[in-house]
């Protein structure tokens, strides 16, 4: 019997918030609502320009380029006249100057700009925002870790969000029923993070090989500009589809609502398309890299669901759905009776959870923790 078949893995889904009328929202519904809310809200907020690439002028020496990037020489950035709400792209020239007039200055670089929704500007993921970025005339940034999560709730177009939300709507409940709401939320977020990480590694590999050996076309590497934004829930959705195919491999689905096939056929077919897109550099190869990363994470975590238990541990006592929080609340309130677990034993188990996480508990210790919570709620 596998670990996921044991009693302590077959838990009821975590409690979800009850709305008026007694309607309960699942974790899947909350994720869909968050994605739709950000997309709709961004439709009313002003769009912004985001740098998605830079091009140096051919005769600019490497030493001058480094000085411009480091900000040790004065530069002047051309004002962008184009309106981001009416234009999809624009350019911005960067001048090396000792005066305030571009006509008396030397053009050193041109930044490529992309119109981006207001919230998406602060949430999209890219190699440069994750690691290090030095844009001519703008400055240095990087290590924006929140983007590993934020990009999963942003979408580039109506079709983009529509297809992703359909995937969540149809396949999310299958996985959530198996994992429970809390572990499902961790599952979705981790699949998205894995998609961003694979995109990051492949793009970093493409940038490094291009800078050291010229443009060496290594199959699977991404050669797009490291400033290029990545958005979408599809990495998490791919993980969910792979997990659903593991749980219900022979379920019948309709591809494009027309072609019938088994769920496992659909899942592994999508993975093959993602691999082919990377190897042959088809359109949206960067997005397919994120899809593949999400699929790999989905396959791993659906086979090892116990690894999801400690994802929200950083919330500590603030997480009201955790056994640790409930048992500690019982202990502090002095609630319980003699038929329940002893305070000493609960203390020992809580110390073990704090040191090694919930996954370190054996079956008896898990039952003891559940009993302590149950007695406290009487």
Task: Give the DSSP per-residue string, 22-84.
Answer: GPBPPHHHHHHHHHHHHHHHHHHSPPEEEEEEEEE-TT--HHHHHHHHHT-S-EEEPPP-S-T
Higher pLDDT, 274 or 320: 274
pLDDT tens, 156-203?
A: 999 999 999 999 999 999 999 999 898 999 999 999 999 999 999 999
Convert the pLDDT of each residue in 340-367 to its tens digit: 567 777 778 777 776 666 667 777 877 7
pLDDT of residue 316: 54
Lowest mean pLDDT among 99-103, 145-149, 181-185, 360-364: 99-103
Provide the b/e sequence for 48-63 (b: ≥16 CB within 10 Å): bbbbbebebeeebeee
How far, in Å, CA of 112 to CA of 294, rounded?
29
The per-residue pLDDT for 59 is 85
What is the CA angle 6-24-316, rounded to 5?
60
Q: Give the separation between CA 165 and CA 28, rounded to whole angstroms.
A: 10
pLDDT for 144 beyond 90: yes
Q: Who has greater pLDDT, 217 or 349?
A: 349
8-22, 87-101, 106-120 — most confident range = 106-120
What tokens appear for 285 in the block? 């190869």
Q: Is the predicted pLDDT of residue 14 greater than 80, yes or no? A: no
> What confidence score (pLDDT) does residue 312 get?
75
| CA gap 310, 187 in Å, rounded | 11
Residue 106 pairs in a beta bridge with 96
Angstrom distance (rounded) from CA 306 to CA 180 = 12
The pLDDT score that the predictor gives to residue 328 is 58
User: What Cα–Cα distance (Å) separates residue 51 from each residue in 48, 55, 92, 140?
Assistant: 10, 11, 9, 13
> Measured between alpha carbons, how far is 29 from 40 in angstroms, rounded to an integer?
16
Q: Is the pLDDT of residue 317 over 60?
A: no
Residue 106 three-state SS: strand
CB within 8 Å of 369: residues ≥ 6 apart: 323, 324, 327, 341, 346, 349, 353, 361
Q: How far apart are CA 323 and CA 345, in angstroms?
A: 15
Q: Among 355, 351, 350, 344, which Cα is nearest to 369's?
A: 350
Q: Are 187 and 298 in contact (CB under 8 A)?
A: yes
Per cent of the chain over pLDDT 70 is: 79
pLDDT band at 10 (very low <50, low <70, confident <90, very high): very low
Pick 104 or 76 by higher pLDDT: 76
Asked if 290 contacts 235 with a C-beta cutoff of 8 angstroms, the reply is yes
pLDDT of residue 224: 86
pTM metric for this prediction = 0.76
Strand 139-141 to 75-77 pairing: unpaired
Q: Tell me the C-alpha distance between 94 and 102, whole Å.
A: 9
Instruction: Give the pLDDT confidence score for residue 135 in this predicted structure.
Output: 86
What local confidence, expressed as pLDDT, does residue 33 receive?
97
Decide: 290 and 199 in contact? Cβ < 8 Å.
yes
CATH of 3-39+151-308, one of 1.20.120, 3.30.1490, 3.30.450, 1.20.1540: 1.20.1540
Give the C-alpha distances (Å, rounded to integers) separating 20 from 23, 24, 28, 168, 232.
7, 9, 19, 24, 31
In sequence order, which ranges of the chain are alpha helices (DSSP H)? 27-44, 62-70, 118-123, 127-130, 147-150, 158-179, 181-213, 234-247, 263-280, 285-303, 323-333, 343-356, 363-376
Dihedral, CA atoms, 275, 279, 282, 285, nearest 10 degrees?
60
Q: How many CA atoms lie within 13 A of 270 on its CB side?
A: 27
Q: What local confidence, expressed as pLDDT, does residue 2 receive?
A: 39
Structure token digits, residue 287: 């997005």
Selected residue with higher pLDDT from 137 and 330? 137
Domain with CATH 1.20.1540 in the chain: 3-39+151-308
pLDDT digits (tens, 9 = 90+) for 32-75: 999 999 999 999 999 999 998 889 988 888 888 888 888 788 88
366 vs 250: which has the higher pLDDT: 250
């Amino acid at each position: 019997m596998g670990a996921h078949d044991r009693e302590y893995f077959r838990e009821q889904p975590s409690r979800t918030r009850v709305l008026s009328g007694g309607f309960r929202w699942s974790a899947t519904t909350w994720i869909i609502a968050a994605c739709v809310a950000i997309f709709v809200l961004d439709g009313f907020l002003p769009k912004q320009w985001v740098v998605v690439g830079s091009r140096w002028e051919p005769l600019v020496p490497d030493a001058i380029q480094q000085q411009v990037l480091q900000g040790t020489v004065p530069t002047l950035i051309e004002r962008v006249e184009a309106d981001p709400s009416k234009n999809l792209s624009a350019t911005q020239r960067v001048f090396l100057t000792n005066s305030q007039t571009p006509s008396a200055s030397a053009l050193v670089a041109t930044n490529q700009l992309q119109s981006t929704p207001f919230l998406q500007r602060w949430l999209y993921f890219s190699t440069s925002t994750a690691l290090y970025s030095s844009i001519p005339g703008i400055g240095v940034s990087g290590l924006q870790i929140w983007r590993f999560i934020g990009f999963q709730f942003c979408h580039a177009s109506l079709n983009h969000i529509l297809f992703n939300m359909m995937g969540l709507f149809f396949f999310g409940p299958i996985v959530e029923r198996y994992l429970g709401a809390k572990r499902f939320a961790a599952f979705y977020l981790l699949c998205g993070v894995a998609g961003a990480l694979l995109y990051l590694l492949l793009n970093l590999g493409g940038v490094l090989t291009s800078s050291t050996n010229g443009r060496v076309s290594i199959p699977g590497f991404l050669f797009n500009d490291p400033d290029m934004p990545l958005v979408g829930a599809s990495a998490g959705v791919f993980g969910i589809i792979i997990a659903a195919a593991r749980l219900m491999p022979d379920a019948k689905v309709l591809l494009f609502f027309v072609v019938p096939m088994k769920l496992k056929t659909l899942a592994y077919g999508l993975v093959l398309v993602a691999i082919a897109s990377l190897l042959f550099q088809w359109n949206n190869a960067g997005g397919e890299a994120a899809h593949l990363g999400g699929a790999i994470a989905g396959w791993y975590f659906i086979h090892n669901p116990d690894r999801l238990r400690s994802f929200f541990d950083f919330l500590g006592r603030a997480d009201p759905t955790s056994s640790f929080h409930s048992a500690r609340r019982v202990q502090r309130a002095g609630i319980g009776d003699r038929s329940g677990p002893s305070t000493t034993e609960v203390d020992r188990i809580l110390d073990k959870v704090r040191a090694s996480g919930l996954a370190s508990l054996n079956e008896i210790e898990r039952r003891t923790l559940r009993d302590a919570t149950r007695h406290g709620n009487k």
